[in-house]
Structure formats: structure tokens, C-alpha cells
Structure 1
């Protein structure tokens, strides 16, 4: 029985790790890219754009299992609607959707609501599906926040709220298992977390100990964070989603540890201390380098 897999979002945090795992398994897969030549070297590609339904129908043709990961962009709901319609038209047999922890179409939190609405669209499509709902990524500390940490202070409006941050490699491990045998996971939703709840202050303190320099977490008013994102030119809808996520964390609603990484991937989720040791160079200042 064939299982032709198409990975969307293949260049991102989760997608790039997933591609490595599928290659290691010698899986029959391709990566969707919006421009020719955009896939990793040696990986088959299909050209498609989430905002171009015709290109999606062409990209999804012959695909058995579709890994759907959308960028956090204002048009995300329209991208999802286009993708689900194209998947139905192309005869896709299973959708594995990368969503977010706490996704709920009825939520008061904008980020949870939009993810929940997209999940509902997928589940109502008539196509067998699996939903992956990961918590916040450890990797954000080496991408979004690396410069701030190197400067000695991480500013965020999350108070002492804790979240069981997850290494994206664990998300990719779970996704690879589900993609390899999608029928065994049909109709299931998996919340994916790391092994412990941590506050921003605790994470920054662990980084400071590892790199031997003072790094502080500074809680700032929500309005200050919103103004900073506005000044950076972020779209208002994305700001709304990110601010709602900050608020959810600050209220303590994002705390909670799930066993699903170990149950599906067959190993415990990676812990934060090991992640910090592996990535210490990302937070080293110029003198240390």
C-alpha cells in the first residue's frame, strides 16, 4: 500500500526536522515550496502556494498523507480553507495538522480560537485526520529571543506563568511516526509538551548559569509589548494572536505536561537543561565568540 507524503512548512522549525526524519526512514515524500528550487537539496518538491488554490490542487495530486503547517500570518484561516478544499479535490487520504496546544474554536484567547477554527475545518473535511497540538518551542530562545538574551535581558509580558516548552525535534519525532502509519492515529488529537513546566525567569536563569553571564527576565506591561510589536511592523492580527498567547501563559493556563511524546515517539521528551547545553553558543556575546 502506497503512502506518498507531502510536507508543507518544510523549511521551518518543525518542518526542517521532520524532513530529516523522513529522509532517515527512506519515506516516499516531497516538500511543498512556493518557488521552484525551494526544497532542501536532494528532496523532491511540489510547487504550491496556500493563497493559490489551483497550485495547491496540483501540488496535492497523488498525495496520500498531507502534513499541514501554516505560517503565523494574517491570511492563515484563508490558507487553511484553500488547503482543505484542495486536499478534498485531490483525493488526499489523511491530513496531519500541526496546530497549537489549547486550540479551541470557542476560546476567548485569539490564538487558541484561530487554531481551533482551523482544526474544526480539518476535522469536518471528511478526510481522516490527526491533530498535533504542541506547546511553545524551546527553539524560540535561539531564534526570536537570542539577541535579547545576548544583551543580558529578556523582556516579555508573561509574569511568572509557566509552560512545558517542547523541543521541536520531539514534535518532528511524533509527526514522523504519525505520517508513517496515519491510519493508527486517525481521529486523534495529541497535545505535545516538554517534561516540565518552566517560567521565563527559570529558563533565563538556566541559560545564565550555562553561559556564565548575568541574564535577567524582565516582566513588562502587555501594552508595552504590543507597542513594541507594532513598532516592528508586525500585522495587527498577528500581534493579537501573540498577545493572547502571552496572556494565556501569564494567567497560568498554558501549564501542564503531556505524556504523548513518549507514548508515540517511544522516548521521553527532551529536557530544557540538555537543550541549553547544546545551544549555549547561540547566547554567547561577541567577546566569548
Structure 2
């Protein structure tokens, strides 16, 4: 039995389907099972509730061969420690009792910027908590997601502008959520690994924001340019969107660290390279969304 937390999200939802496609038995932890993809609820075991609740985690993880661990930071959290490690601490005993855990993490460990990188710093601290229990743990470390471009769908289609805090000429990796899910599915079904390791998951190319805007323009057949948002304006946007001060500041700190090279500290290798190019992601995901 493989347990998937956050099964209604972009990564978790794809992971559930990937596992079902190969006949793996799946149990999901969901606050609202009605949000599962159509047809999924009949094929999986469902434990209702939050995977940060010790009673829910104990029930969900019982008898599991592996657990997929993903923490979505509460946008109203008063601190990043509360959002990540605070969510995880109550269920460490339940996690420690399973044979293997695969978690969602971030690039940056070992770089000069990792200690002041907001959400990344908090995520790495959470990884250390899980690893300290002794449970075999693979932390999937990612750069920014291609799928985050969907947050900019309205300005892309209405204004021809892709906005963001990233420096326009910084060449950096990205990754598609579907490739993260595929990597997680492979590791969750592999019972041969032990210990704690980080597993970088990088798309096949580095692109600048200007280059990404040009790809979007070519795929959509309309002019699109990139415009960098000043850091404080970016934070103000996050506050207006309902994030707490701590969460908004953490997002800004992460963006600053990425601009300083946080995501560029790992060399791409065949082992750490995923297949989906940004152009292919735009064709498969962004264009259908823009045309809808």
C-alpha cells in the first residue's frame, strides 16, 4: 500500500493516477475526498482529514509500504517554521514507522543562499526533521515549477505580459509537475533504497524569463513579453492575495535567493534530468488552458 498525501493537488493528483496506472494499491489522505479527480475515489482507500493530524496520520500510514509527503504551507501561518516543521512535528512518530518516505523539497542546500531563502530554508529544515527519525527518506529537490506559469494565465492572455520577481536574464532550470509525480512514483515503488538522500529533479534545459516569454508567445501565437516585478511590489501582491506577513516575506526571500543563484547549484546529469521541455509543457498544458 502506498499512501499519498495532498492527493488533490497538482503533483499529488498526477501521482495517484500514475500509481493506479501501474496497478499499485493506493491510500490517500484528503480533507475533502470530493475534490479527488473523477473516478479516483472508487479505486483508492480514503482516510479523511489532515495528514498533519497525528490520529489521521497513524490511521493512514498503518501498514503502508511507502508514504508520499507534501506540505502545502498554510497561507495564514504566522511563521515559516509553523507552516512546514510545525505541520510535520506532530506526525513524526507515524512517519518514522513506515518503511520509506518520499517528500517534496527544494533545491538550494549547500549554497550560500540556502539560509535566507524563505520557504526553501523552511522546507530544508523540515527535511532534516524527517531524516532525523531514521526513516529512509528521499527528498525530491526542485527548482521553480513550469506549472506556476498558469498563475499568470490572465495577464498572459489579456495583456500579453508574463509577470514575476525573477531577473529577466537569469538562466535557470524549471520542472513540470507531471515529471515530479513520475519521479515520486518510481521511488515509491522501489523498495531497494535506504537512508536519506536528496534527489534533484530538473527539467532538460535552463531558460531565462525572457526566453520563456518568447516560447509562450510562439506557442500561443500572440505577443508575450516578460516584466520583472520589484521585490516589495511582489510582496504587496502576495499580501493582497491573502497571505500572512510571514508567508509573503518568505516568498520574497525565496525569490531573492533564486535571483542570486539558489537553483543553479546542482549540475544537470542524465539521472537528474526529466523529459518535459518548457515548450512541450506550453503545448500540452498552457495552450489548452489559454484556449479554454
Fold similarity call, TM over 0.5: yes
SS of equivalent residue, structure 1 residue 155: strand
Change in Cα spacing, 1:106 to 1:85, as seen in structure 2 (3 Å) is farther
Q: CA shift at 1:86, angstroms?
A: 2.5
The one of 219, 227, 232 aligned to 1:218 = 227
- C-alpha displacement of 1:245: 2.2
Give the direction of change, closer, same or farther, for the CA distance of 1:259–1:78 in structure 2 (3 Å limit): same
Q: Look up the match of 1:139.
A: 147
The structure-2 alpha-carbon separation of the partners of 1:161 and 1:182, relative to structure 1 and needing over 3 Å to count, comes to farther
Question: Following the alignment from structure 2 to structure 1, what is the Cα–Cα distance between the partners of residues 120 and 274?
Answer: 26
What is the match of residue 276 of structure 2? 270
Aligned to 1:97: 103
Given that 1:148 and 1:154 are in contact with CA atoms closer than 8 Å, whether structure 2 keeps it comes out as yes
Distance 2:31 2:148 in 1: 24
The structural deviation recorded for 1:194 is 0.6
* 1:53 lines up with 2:54 in the alignment: yes
Answer yes or no: is the 8 Å Cα contact 2:135–2:195 preserved in 1.
Answer: no
CA distance in 2, matches of 1:148, 1:251: 26
Shift in Å, 1:220: 2.2
**How far 1:268 sits from its partner (Å)?**
4.6
Q: Residue 87 of structure 2 corresponds to which residue in structure 1?
A: 79
Give unpaired runs (5+ residues) of structure 1: none
Whole-angstrom distance in 2 between the partners of 1:139 and 1:115: 20
For the 8 Å contact 2:4–2:12, the answer to whether it is kept is yes
Structure 1 residue 246, shift from structure 2 partner: 1.4
Pick from 13, 16, 21: which aligns with 1:19?
Answer: 16
For the aligned residue pairs, the C-alpha RMSD in angstroms reads 2.2
CA contact (8 A) 2:138 2:197 kept: yes
Alignment correspondent of 1:126: 134
Hey, what does 2:121 align to over in structure 1? Answer: 113
- In 1, are the aligned partners of 2:201 and 2:274 still within 8 Å (CA)? no
Q: Is the 8 A contact 1:80 1:118 kept in 2?
A: yes
Distance, in Å, in 1 between the alignment partners of 2:180 and 2:191 is: 15
May I ask how many residue pairs the two structures share in their alignment?
276
In structure 2, the residue matched to 1:69 is 70
TM-score (norm 2): 0.86
- How far does residue 166 in structure 1 lie from its aligned partner after superposition? 0.5
How far off its partner does 1:126 sit? Answer: 1.7
Alpha-carbon offset, residue 119 of structure 1? 0.5
Supply the distance in 2 between the matched residues of 1:233 and 1:80 (Cα, whole angstroms).
23
The change in CA–CA distance for 1:232 and 1:12 in structure 2 (over 3 A counts) is same
Superposed displacement of residue 197, structure 1: 1.1
Point out where structure 2 has 5 or more consecutive residues left out of the alignment.
78-82
Please say if residues 162 and 249 of structure 1, whose CA atoms lie closer than 8 Å, have aligned partners that are also in contact: no
